[in-house]
Structure 1
Amino acid sequence: MGHDLRATRTAVAVGALVLFGVLMWWGVTPTPAFAAPGASGERDAQLVYCLDTAHRGDLVTAAVRLGLLKAGATAQDTVVPTAAGGRMTLEKWAERSQDDFGRACSALMAAESDTPGAAAGGTAEDGWFVTFLKSLPLLGAGALLTLGGQFSERVSAERRRLTQQLGSGAAAFRTAAGEYLANYERRPDADHTVVLAARDALIGPLLQVPGPGARRDTARRLAVELPLACPLPSARDGAFLGQGARAQEAQGVRQSVERQLRTVSDLNGRALYWRWRTLRARPAPATPGASA
């Protein structure tokens, strides 16, 4: 069906957009580093927090444990880096060894559960474009879920509509066929237009029945084989059909109508049954050398 193809194409396009967004996110999201950029909000938060009087001692302790400062070499608010440089103040160390300072300060801030700067520094550098790219996978997933729900509802609505049309069409054809056959038994020239219209109205839904293949093929066959495509005969082999002969003719057609309408009702059965019928109808694979 046309709308199924369009829905599939839309789903593919949305999926491609989601994939593009994820790749772009991976490409533009900066690799985590210990030291924040020199003029960033995160760097400012590190300087303010870790060089505060209340946290300087904890900063030195963290740096010593990480092997960035020499243990026991701190005196009068000065430190000695493990790397070359000699004794210096914490401010000078933060300026000269930005990577080491950033590593120690980040560890300290992460360890402090009540640190407001840790969360603030994590998003300070995220512009609107990066934020958009980060949210794109969620937006894409939401779009796919919405599209899938709409597609499922549309398919269900089509199935319900077709089931109703088949049921009402079969009932109308059964009624019209019964009236025509009863009239035919009394008069060979009974009006055939009503039953023909009911037959055509049932053929329309039959031609719209979707797969599996066995169900679709059965519906197409029913559309061709429905009885009463033409008026019943008033004579056969040059001999006029009397009322008894017409009653016998009508009874045979009546049985055929009921048999075909039972098959129409079976079309609304579970899809699993028709998939099984489809598999059974497939030809068995040819055995190598069987034709030899």
Structure 2
Amino acid sequence: MPGLRGRRARGRPALATAGAALALLTAGTYPTFADSTSSGSRDIQLVYCLDSAHRGDLVAAAVRLMLLRPDSAADPGAAVHLRSGGHMALETWAARRVEDFGRACEALMAADSPPPATATADGSAEDDWFTGFLKEIPLLAAGALLTLGGQQSERRVSEIRLFKSQLGAEEKVYRTAVREYLTRYEQDPHTDHRAVRTARETLAATLSRAPGPSVRQAAAQQVAEGLPLGRALSGNQAGALLGPEARAGEAERASALVDRRLRQISELNRSSLYWLWLTVRTKLAQRAAGGAA
């Protein structure tokens, strides 16, 4: 389709690397058609030009191109009149006179399409296109930033959810190990402490990986360092073996300390708004302290 190819050549962007972006920005502006010899273009022409809304214009175009007699325009819905004599239905003419039909239909589609910008000697058409493309860049950038922000927010939420789940599971393991150890300690001061130590180390490692902000990470680290029962309770005091009552007292004090620390762990799961407020308050306090110094 020569006319169409020329139109494409004039609308070609100055920068080849911007081709993909131009395709996105200009998609849907007006219909484009492949070479008339291709089957795809032939199908498009048949659908477009034989549509009831375009039949009259198709006949008029064929008359102007002297492919049909002028009296064809009088009744395009019934028949067209050949210059060589005789007449036939418009669909029959399209099927038998393929070249004439393609020429008339191509001209009609070209006339219905908006005219391409006319390039001046200094390439102003390409400049206009490029200027329009530059105007679209802020919108494209904003869309990309919104997408990236959404992905980061989703990843952040997923990270916090995973941390809470893992922290809750390891807290239960630690609490269970402590309870079992203290129960056995009251009976035997030399009972095995390894299960508590292992559970404590695992819980402390998870706390050290708490997601931000920094104030939550600092709070988590403080809880991890203060987890009780890092080592076994002593069965002696002042060189004397502790009796059952004394060991029960030691076990009760250790249990109360564990409960207090684990309540601090639950506070790490507060909302992001709380940690944002705490971050602001901490920074303001630091700034006030620096000014006073």
TM-score range, shorter chain: 0.5 to 0.7
How many residues are aligned here? 177
Structure 1 counterpart of 2:167, one-letter code: L
Q: Secondary structure in 1 aligned to 2:185?
A: helix
Identify if the C-alpha distance between structure 1 residues 182 and 126 changes in structure 2 by more than 3 Å, giving closer, same or farther: same
Unaligned 5+ segments in structure 1 are 1-20, 26-114
Name the structure 2 match of 1:285: 288
RMSD of aligned alpha carbons: 3.3
2:197–2:229: 8 Å Cα contact kept in structure 1? Answer: yes
Distance 2:138 2:278 in 1: 41
Name the structure 1 match of 2:143: 142
Q: Deviations over 1:209-247 (max 9, x none)?
A: 234443222211111110010011010111111111111
Distance 1:267 1:137 in 2: 40
Structure 1 counterpart of 2:171, one-letter code: A
Q: Secondary structure in 2 aligned to 1:143?
A: helix
Name the structure 2 match of 1:60: none
1:139: how far off?
Answer: 3.8
Name the structure 2 match of 1:120: 115
Name the structure 1 match of 2:192: 191
Structure 1 counterpart of 2:179, one-letter code: G
Structure 2 counterpart of 1:225, one-letter code: G
2:159–2:211: 8 Å Cα contact kept in structure 1? Answer: no
Identify if the C-alpha distance between structure 1 residues 162 and 193 changes in structure 2 by more than 3 Å, giving closer, same or farther: same
Name the structure 2 match of 1:216: 217
Distance 1:241 1:144 in 2: 66
Distance 1:173 1:153 in 2: 30
1:175 and 2:176 equivalent? yes
Q: TM-score, normalised by structure 1?
A: 0.53
Q: Deviations over 1:54-86 (max 9, x none)?
A: xxxxxxxxxxxxxxxxxxxxxxxxxxxxxxxxx
Structure 1 stretches (4+) deviating beyond 6 angstroms? none
Identify if the C-alpha distance between structure 1 residues 286 and 173 changes in structure 2 by more than 3 Å, giving closer, same or farther: closer
Distance 2:163 2:189 in 1: 35
Distance 2:197 2:227 in 1: 10
What are the within-5 Å matches in structure 2 for residues 44-59 of structure 1?
none
Name the structure 1 match of 2:265: 264
Structure 1 counterpart of 2:152, one-letter code: F
Q: Secondary structure in 2 aligned to 1:253?
A: helix
Identify if the C-alpha distance between structure 1 residues 160 and 243 changes in structure 2 by more than 3 Å, giving closer, same or farther: same
1:151: how far off?
Answer: 1.2
What are the within-5 Å matches in structure 2 for residues 51-130 of structure 1?
119-122=114-117, 125-126=125-126, 130=130
Name the structure 2 match of 1:248: 249
Identify if the C-alpha distance between structure 1 residues 123 and 151 changes in structure 2 by more than 3 Å, giving closer, same or farther: farther
Structure 1 counterpart of 2:204, one-letter code: I
1:149: how far off?
Answer: 1.9
Structure of greater relative contact order (alpha carbons < 8 Å, 6+ residues apart) = 1
Distance 2:171 2:196 in 1: 11
Distance 2:134 2:286 in 1: 51
2:164–2:269: 8 Å Cα contact kept in structure 1? Answer: yes
Work out the percentage of aligned pairs sharing the same amino acid: 43
Q: TM-score, normalised by structure 2?
A: 0.52
Distance 1:154 1:239 in 2: 57
Unaligned 5+ segments in structure 2 are 1-17, 23-110, 120-124
Q: Secondary structure in 2 aligned to 1:252?
A: helix
Structure 2 counterpart of 1:270, one-letter code: S
Distance 2:214 2:253 in 1: 30
1:148: how far off?
Answer: 1.7
